[in-house]
Structure 1
Amino acid sequence: MSASDYTGIVKKTDAPSPIGDRAIQRGQDDRLGYRDVANRIALSLVDHGCDGGLVIGIEGAWGSGKSSLLGLIEEALGKLPTDKQPTVINFRPWLVGNRDALLTSLFGSISHAIADIKLSKGDATDSTAAKVKVTAEALRKFTAAIGRAGELVEVAGNAADYKPAKFIGGLLKGGREATKDKADDHSLDKLKEKLVRSLGDLGHRFVITIDDVDRLEPAEVIEVLRLARSVADFPNVIYLLCYDSEILSRSIEKAARVQDGHAYLEKIVQLTVMVPKPESFQLRQWFSDELKAIASTKTDDEHSRLKSVLDYEGGRQLRTPRSVVRTLDSIRFFWPPLRDSKADLADLVWLLLIKDGNPSLYRWIEDYCATAAVLSLGTARVEEHDRAEDTKKLLNTVGESYFDDLQYRHYFAQQLAGLDIDFAENGSKFKLHQRVADTTRDEAIREHRLASPDHYRLYFAMSGPTHALTQQELNELWLAADSGQLDTGSLILEWHKKAPEGSLSKADILFERMPGFDAETLDGQRSKNFLLAFSNILDEAYHRRQFDLHWFNSIWDRAERLVPVLLSHLTADDRSDAIISMFEKGAATGWLTNLFRSETFSQGRHGNQKKQEVEWIFKSDELDTVSKLMIGRFQSMSLPEILASVDPVNLLYAWQQGDDGEGPNSLLSELTQTDEGFIETLENLSDLMTWRDLQYFLDLEITRNRTLSIAATCESKRISSRAKRLAAKFDWKSER
């Protein structure tokens, strides 16, 4: 493939890109009203009049919007009047190593911020500059005393060159170099007192934000909390810690070996702000508005079903802002290729809501759809105990009470093929893998639904199942069917060699799906070409890829079931012409014989298996025509020709059970006039049928006695030995 060949693959499209699980950025839309909350919190932070510091916890579950609220608070602080604006320090401890490095990084950040106070004021008064210098020096000495890394923290004059890597890289020498201040150092308490006084005199507020504290390792959590606690009483310094209190408490209990992590946390965090819990309808409205910009429905039915998905599944799965963002991103990723494959938007949204809300349920649905697809082909069955086990797995993914709401249960059952409701009071909620009506299955296939056995994998893997016919293959099929029966037959034989799904060939799959094609697609001419192709190539199909002729669901069996479907698309004249052409000239003698014999039984002309007239393939007068044509062909065949057919025994039975009951007997009688002819005929038939089968065509008692007589008295040793081998081949007593 040349470079130019890739242009169509990587070309830029208008498809929306996933935005990722990021907090609201400055200036972005606030869909849940967090900005008003952030503005009020910002005002409270700058109006806080306590001389000491403050540690505030912003609490909320993962995905509830803590980071977004924190970002909006910082945005609000930046919009305050200049004289009220605090300095915001975004401290990210997971980028730092051990405890000393944490201290170094935090106080380095504060030192840097102090320098920025001087720079931001421009031509500040000598008083302000002096206060900045005093505060910076006090901070450096305090840092040196508690972490022995003070030399690595620049004073205000050099803070513009501050680089975190410099602090971390110099830790090893920090403790040693810091000792040169030893002569001037006082006790830690006095150094802290001096720093507290300097910060108070400076009169500038610092807000230190630490996001995702609950995502740190337990040991790191303890170090960060201790760090916050060690400087919690610094005046004008406020910590904003974001965390999920339940997760953080468990980390505390593990690392600090305490029984109550919540109590431990309360000693450090003076007050908490709970992230507002958005209303369910707010989340659904946000999701709906964004979805409208990503994708659109094709039909009114799809639109109506999408509304139900948002109401029922959206109400259950869209619980946090993160769940909205993640599901929308999934749709942005999956929809463009699925849209090109004409997938159903309502089905996709339903599945992706579940995928992001309950991955275990998503996997259960995937397994269910795969099983339903195999069942639709008639190549497998699900036992009752398997249904019970699968139902148990379903309830385990969601909980016993999840489907108690009968309305939701009904809605859920509508999404999947063969899923019925169990209304019994103590029932299992659902009946799995029930029979799916052909019309229901065919509609799902036409609409490329999740319930379609040919398209379900689009929704899980963005590709069709291995057993499905692609649009390119269907285009090839219709081109052949329009061309004539020869091209149609050649394509069927080619597809018969392709076995993508176990024993099923591509031709088997085609024959399974053809009843679902509408009359406009499978018109009269195409139907006639298929019928004529069947009558010519199905014996060859057996020779190319053999199968059990007497078992159901073979390609012969599927083709036979298609005959009435195809005949129904023909006019009366075309129907008559097609039947005559098939049985008069068709090369697939074996399949035609099988069809003829099957219909002989169905119409009650032989045996006691007569079916209702609506189940007949041919009308009574049509079977008369078929019988006349097939009997004529049988009568013209020699025994070698009969024996060379795909199923000689079936042919002999069909001949006898048709309108010429004595035909096979007469042929065999003629061939067995001489001893050699008799033995040769029996040898030919002995590999095909038992003596019990043979009694329908030759008198068994006479045949047995004659064989024994030839073996005992024939003058020709060659013929005599052949007769003895035949006599020894069968257990005469068991055949009596």
Structure 2
Amino acid sequence: MSQENDDSSKSMNIIRDCPVDDFGVDAFGYKNIAKEVAASICQLHSDSGYVIAINGKWGSGKSSFLFYTEKYLTENCNELEIGREVTETIVFRFDPWLFSGHQDIVSQFFIQLQAQCKRPQQKISKKTLKTLNKLFSYGSCLRAVPTPEGQIAGWGFTGLNTIIEYKLQKSVKSIFQLKEEIKTELQELDGKIVIIIDDIDRLTSKEIQELFRALKAVVDFQNIIYLLAYDKEIVIDALEYEFHPALHTNPNNNHRAGIKYLEKIVQFEVPLPVIGEYHLKQYTEKTIFTDLFYDTNSDLFDQTRWTDIYHKGLKQFILTPRSVIRLHNSLELLYPPLKNEVNVIDFICLEIIRQNYPKLYNLIKENHRYFIEDNSLIGQLISLSIKPESINTFHKNWIDSIEDKDKLSVKYIMTDLFPSVKKCFDNTSSISSPSPRKLHIHLNYDTFLKYFRFQTEPDLFSNTELIELLHSIQDPNEFIMIISQLKGEMGRGGSRALVFLEGILPSIDEKTPEELLKNIVIGCFRIENKLITKPEVVNQSVISMGYITKYISKVIYMALTFYPKAKRLELLREAFSTGDSFWLMADGIIIIHQQNGEWDETTISPDRFLKLDELKEIDKIFVEKLQHAFSTDVCAFASPSITTIIYVWNKLSPDDRYLVDAIENIWKNDDSLIAIIYKSYEMKYVGPIVPYSLEPFKSDNEFREKVSDILEKNRSSLNKQQIASLTDFLSTNPPLKVE
């Protein structure tokens, strides 16, 4: 049971996996039963304490059930229909999971109860408080007493003497006297004390054993009721392991010893109501099919198929509200990049497999030839080499690895997703052709790969590798080395540098260390021009021009967004002063000027990286670096995105003498122009020099005519690569004119 994140500014509708905290919300009708439990507690009469357990699976809503029960015992007690005035109930809560693995659970139990006594909302009389302090003192003193009771439960209360004021001689006689005093005083209470202990099943086995040992020593006090919440199977297993370790490994063990121990402590068990199949399906559809899918192409979602596969396959894995929320949150992250590119039901089914059987998920991803028809020449040749019996053995092996309780459901999902699997299990001889419009996972290899958006191919990165690689960067040079090394390693989607840059974007946020953000920014500004090249053709598709530059810019943008505002000027000053990526500097200057309401923008962004007076210093550094570079090296004109560089330079320093002279120098020297164009195109730079790059100093037509004349005059002396470069230059389309 959960509540939604109210932050409407976020594009993702992530649901927090937390108990309900709104008494008016009740998705599964738990309130009525919680009300009955609360009424029973108020009417309970027992000569000793009483322990009630709420038993339910993880994620089934136990914590929400406790929330409703507590509200009925306190703020909403007037709603209880018990035929008489409800006496005051004091409620304490203890969440042992918060202290799991860090401190002594039992000590924290008494520490937290005593701390809650001091809260303003706990209106406890002095008389009751005195009794409670005696109870806390009793627990702390048990450790030192050589009695069976002390030996059983008191060993865990080390150090509690320092937090109580009540002083007691540590003797068996005084311990029992104190116990009798507590019993007498508790009998005189008008109301009841309810201690709620949640998330017991999240503790380690040892911690569960400690907690129940402590409860065994203190549960027999009248008017104190313990309300526990756990998964009974987990608790019994932990108790069984402690008291009968030999039986724990016996396959014929029926856990009778653990059950009997639990029965000595828990007087009454309330099984958390099983959510009806109809209501859970309604909750699933209401939770999952949010705005995320509203504008999805209707061909990609078949309502009849959804109902069928839900009942015959998916419902086996959607058993609790938590499993619904887990699925929803995964889809919120994974689906948006693939909207209208994958079949919705196929995608949900595959995500269910990933969450419950990750080995099968990876098996599908890494062995596509066993699941889809690969109609490429290579795919067909490989398929011919695979013997039918090998295919049958392959599918038999993975189905055998599925738990018996899930076999039928997984088999139905898999045969629905993959006709080739259905062919194997049903011994059918043919496979129907998939509809291209429905974009099923088995349509073709390219479509198949889209379903594994965050599960890259073996020759690319996994998410874990990306994060580890990112956080291993110790200085800017290491970042550059990573990009340099990965740039030459090709995968299906291009160089691994592209995959790296794209992959680290989601990992750059407010939690990213400041030093790492600094290394990323400075490293990006030092990336050499030779790395800013157009990618190769891979798998018959071409990565769009400017892809790597766009992702570097995005990485810079994200890093600056989360870098401290007060330090951004200092960071950019260092990045511009020590860097040589003129294209990136120009791109950054455009963005920051636009953030300040300049350069075709009229609105000042509240999230601007720098103010105008700060930006002037960066502008000056950029212009001075350009003046030096272009006056000493004519091939500076071969830089990536040279058109943007000249545009920004002229924008910052109109008719700059250094720029005018540099252009005139190369204009007078045919060899210089040939060298610039050849280098720009031979290196396959992103944004190479084009006929309109030198505007407004040289028009598009002037530049074309100049190069055309050079080509005609020098064709016989030029090599093939030079001729090809000049020809490519001349074939560039002129810029679009906006009327």
TM-score (norm 2): 0.51
Tell whether 2:289 aligns with 1:292.
Answer: yes
Match of 2:72 among 70, 73, 76: 76
SS state at 1:50 partner: coil
Judged with a 3 Å threshold, the aligned counterparts in structure 2 of structure 1 residues 369 and 67 are, in CA distance, closer, same or farther, namely farther
Aligned-pair CA distance for 1:273: 0.8
Q: 1:444 to 1:261 in 2, by over 3 A?
A: farther
**1:421 aligned counterpart, secondary structure:** helix
Which residue among 15, 36, 43 is the counterpart of 1:47? 43
SS of 1:267's equivalent? helix
Give the deviation of 1:245 after TM superposition: 1.8
Letter in structure 2 aligned against 1:453: Y
8 Å contact 1:77–1:86 — kept in the other structure?
yes
What is the percentage of aligned positions where both structures have the same residue? Answer: 23
Structure 1 residue 222 corresponds to structure 2 residue 214: no
Counterpart position of 2:446? 454
Task: Sort the Cα spacing of 1:289 and 1:24 in 2 relative to 1 into closer, same or farther, 3 A.
Answer: same
2: CA distance, partners of 1:497 / 1:194: 85
CA contact (8 A) 2:334 2:453 kept: no
Q: Match for 2:316: what amino acid?
A: R
The separation in 1 between residues aligned to 2:451 and 2:57, in whole angstroms, is 30
Could you tell me how far 1:286 is from its partner in structure 2?
0.6
- Give the count of matched residue pairs: 433
Q: CA deviation at 1:191?
A: 0.5
Tell me how far 1:57 sits from its aligned partner: 1.6
CA contact (8 A) 1:317 1:323 kept: yes
- AA of the residue aligned to 2:445: P
Q: Give the Å deviation of 1:335.
A: 2.0
Say which of 221, 224, 236 aligns to 1:237: 224
- Name the counterpart of 2:651: none
Q: In structure 2, do the counterparts of structure 1 residues 449 and 34 end up closer, same or farther at CA, with 3 Å as the change threshold?
A: same
Kindly state the Cα deviation for residue 375 of structure 1 after the two structures are TM-superposed. Answer: 3.1
Aligned ranges 1:550-561 → 2 under 5 Å:
none
- Structure 2 residue 322 is matched with structure 1 residue 335: no
- Residues 232-241 or 305-314, more deviating: 305-314
Paired position in structure 2 for 1:323: 323
Given that 1:55 and 1:270 are in contact with CA atoms closer than 8 Å, whether structure 2 keeps it comes out as: yes
State the shift of 1:495 in Å.
Answer: 11
Equivalent in the alignment of 1:312: 312
1:612-663 C-alpha deviation (Å, 9 max, x unpaired): xxxxxxxxxxxxxxxxxxxxxxxxxxxxxxxxxxxxxxxxxxxxxxxxxxxx
1:224 shift after superposition: 0.3
Give the match's secondary structure for 1:228.
helix
Residue 90 (str. 1) matches residue 89 (str. 2): no
CA 1:173/1:117 → structure 2, altered by over 3 Å: closer, same or farther? closer
**1:386 Cα deviation from its structure 2 partner:** 2.6
Structure 2: any 5+ residue segments left out of the alignment?
1-6, 79-84, 146-156, 248-256, 458-490, 496-532, 543-739
Cα distance between partner residues in 1 of 2:278 and 2:494 = 41
**1:328 CA displacement:** 1.6
Report the CA distance shift for 1:255/1:409 in structure 2 as closer, same or farther (over 3 A): closer
Distance change >3 Å, CA 87–CA 39, structure 1 → 2: same
Matches of 1:429 and 1:139 in 2, distance apart? 68
Distance between the aligned counterparts of 1:283 and 1:395, measured in 2? Answer: 27
1:415 counterpart letter in structure 2:
L
Identify the residue that residue 265 of structure 2 maps to in structure 1: 268
Q: What residue number does 1:615 align with?
A: none
SS in structure 2 opposite 1:353? Answer: helix
SS of 1:306's partner is helix
Structure 1: where are the runs of 5+ without partners? Answer: 1-10, 122-127, 150-169, 423-427, 471-493, 508-736
What is the DSSP-based 3-state SS (H/G/I as helix, E as strand, rest coil) of the residue aligned with 1:120? coil
Pair 1:416 & 2:408 matched: no
Cα deviation per residue 1:278-298 (whole Å; 9 max; x = unaligned)? 122221111112223242341
Q: Distance in 2 between matches of 1:69 and 1:188?
A: 37
Residues 347, 450 of structure 1: 8 Å contact kept: no
> d(CA) in 2 for partners of 1:396 and 1:28?
46
1:17–1:333 Cα contact (<8 Å) kept = no
8 Å CA contact retained: 1:139, 1:195: yes
Q: Is the 8 A contact 2:93 2:196 kept in 1?
A: yes
Q: Deviations 1:536-582 (Å, cap 9, x if unpaired)? A: xxxxxxxxxxxxxxxxxxxxxxxxxxxxxxxxxxxxxxxxxxxxxxx
Could you tell me whether the CA contact under 8 Å between 1:318 and 1:324 is conserved in 2? yes
CA distance in 2, matches of 1:496, 1:298: 32
Change (3 A) 1:25 1:452: farther
Distance 1:237 1:250 in 2: 27
Match of residue 63 from structure 2: 67
Aligned to 2:53, the other structure's residue is in SS state strand
Decide whether the 8 Å contact of 1:52 with 1:234 is kept in 2: yes
Assess if the C-alpha contact under 8 Å between 1:148 and 1:178 holds in 2: no
Q: 1:14 to 1:309 in 2, by over 3 A?
A: farther
**1:213 and 2:205 equivalent?**
no
Contact 1:103 1:147 in 2 (8 A): no
User: CA 1:62–1:360 in structure 2 vs 1: closer, same or farther (change >3 Å)?
Assistant: farther
2:387 maps to 383
Q: In structure 1, what residue type is equivalent to 2:193? A: F
| Change beyond 3 A, Cα 1:134–1:420 | closer
C-alpha displacement of 1:254: 1.5
**Structure 2 counterpart of 1:76, which letter?**
Y
Code of the aligned partner of 1:107: F
Shift of 1:144: 4.5
Which of 28, 31, 36 is equivalent to 2:27? 31
Shift of 1:387: 0.4
Question: CA contact under 8 A between 1:207 and 1:237: conserved in structure 2?
Answer: yes
Cα gap change, 1:235/1:179 in structure 2, threshold over 3 Å: closer, same or farther?
closer
**Farther off after superposition, 194-203 or 292-301:** 292-301
Distance 2:103 2:239 in 1: 20
Map 1:292-691 to 2 at 5 A. 292-293=289-290, 294-296=292-294, 297-299=296-298, 302-304=301-303, 305-339=305-339, 342-369=341-368, 371-372=370-371, 375-379=374-378, 380-381=382-383, 382-398=386-402, 412-416=414-418, 418-421=420-423, 428-429=425-426, 440=433, 443-444=435-436, 447=439, 449=441, 451-462=443-454, 467=492, 498-499=537-538
Q: Work out the CA distance in 1 between the residues paired with 2:32 and 2:164.
A: 49
For structure 1, which segment, 178-187 or 191-200, has the greater mean C-alpha deviation from structure 2 after superposition? 178-187
- Structure 1: distance between partners of 2:134 and 2:9: 58
CA displacement at 1:172 relative to structure 2: 5.4
* Structure 1 residues 338 and 506: alpha-carbon distance in aligned structure 2, compared to 1, 3 A threshold: closer
Stretch moving more, 56-65 or 457-466: 457-466
The one-letter amino acid of 1:89's match is F
- Find the aligned partners of 2:262 and 2:276 in 1 and give their Cα distance: 29
Measured in 2, the distance between the counterparts of 1:222 and 1:186 equals 28
Secondary structure, aligned partner of 1:89: strand
- In the alignment, is the contact (CA less than 8 A) between 1:114 and 1:132 conserved in 2? no
Secondary structure of 1:460's aligned partner: coil
1:98 and 1:18, CA in 2 relative to 1: closer, same or farther beyond 3 A? closer
How far apart are the structure 1 equivalents of 2:43 and 2:444? Answer: 62
Q: Which has the larger radius of gyration?
A: 1
1:453–1:12 Cα change, 3 Å:
farther
Q: Aligned to 1:142, what secondary structure does the other structure show?
A: helix
Aligned CA-pair RMSD:
4.3
Name 1:252's counterpart in structure 2. 239
How far, CA to CA, are the matches of 2:387 and 2:534 in structure 1?
Answer: 31
Do 2:51 and 2:225's aligned partners in 1 also have CA atoms closer than 8 Å? yes
Q: Give secondary structure in 2 for the equivalent of 1:266.
A: helix
Report the Cα distance in structure 2 between the residues aligned to 1:310 and 1:303, rounded to whole angstroms.
Answer: 12
Aligned equivalent of 2:142, options 143, 146, 155: 146
Partner amino acid, structure 1, of 2:328: L
Query: What letter is aligned with 2:298?
Result: T
